[in-house]
Each structure stands twice: as structure tokens, then as C-alpha cells.
Amino acid sequence: MATDIEKLFAEITNGLDLLKPKQVEIVAAHVYKQQITALTKEALKDFKDRTKKQQEWEGFHARAFRQEVKINLQIGLKAAEYRAGQAVLVEVPVAVEEVVKKPFVFEFYDELKSYVVLPRG
């Protein structure tokens, strides 16, 4: 009896162009089963076969990484506190001034009042 993935590959061979969501799930499950499972087995095998030196190195690496994360968080916190302090210094107007409606008057120099544009010629 053919599996779902074999049926799907047969359909693709016969000219299927686009996959339906269910068919995409079948392909994803197949890829996961073939690739991810093999990688997981390999990682677990390597994890079991670690030497004492490798274990110590991994512990050192974990502690160093933890320290780096703490330092980065402290720097980020200091930057946030600094910027928060800057934000406090910005003054926001408390009340809006009263709007006075009056006409806008253009005031020109005397020279501009007598300016004449000559036609091109």
C-alpha cells in the first residue's frame, strides 16, 4: 500500500502544478521525518559521548554567554534610563492660547508697489 507522500509524488509526476495546504503538510512532515529526526539522533549521540573536557568547555561557554547577556541587558537598561531622562526634559504646553481672528495684511516696500512686469518680446 502506498503512503501519502508516495501518492503525492505520483500526482506531481503526472503533472500536478500547485499543492493544496493538506499536500504541503504531507511534504513538510516527510522533510521533518527525514532530516530533523536524523539530526536529533546525531545530536543526542554526540551529547552522550562527550568527554569531561567537552563538558567543562560547554559549562564555561554557557557561563560566558550568560555574562554577555547580562552586560547587554545592563547597557540596554542604562540607555533606556538615559532616554527616559531626556524625555522628561521636554516641556509640553499646558494650555492652548486663544485664537484671534483678524485679516492678514501684506505690507510691501514702496519699491515693490510700483513693480511692473513687461511683456516678453
End-to-end CA distance of the chain: 95
Question: Can you give the pLDDT at residue 3?
Answer: 82
pLDDT, tens digit, 9 for 90 and up, residues 35-58: 888 888 887 877 777 888 888 888
pTM here is 0.34
| Dist. CA 31–CA 38, nearest whole Å | 11
Please state the domain extents for the chain. Answer: 1-49, 51-89
Burial of 77 (0-12, 13-18, 19+ CB in 10 A): exposed
pLDDT, tens digit, 9 for 90 and up, residues 59-115: 898 999 999 999 988 888 888 777 776 666 656 666 666 766 666 555 655 555 555
Question: Can you give the pLDDT at residue 1?
Answer: 44
Question: Can you give the pLDDT at residue 109?
Answer: 58
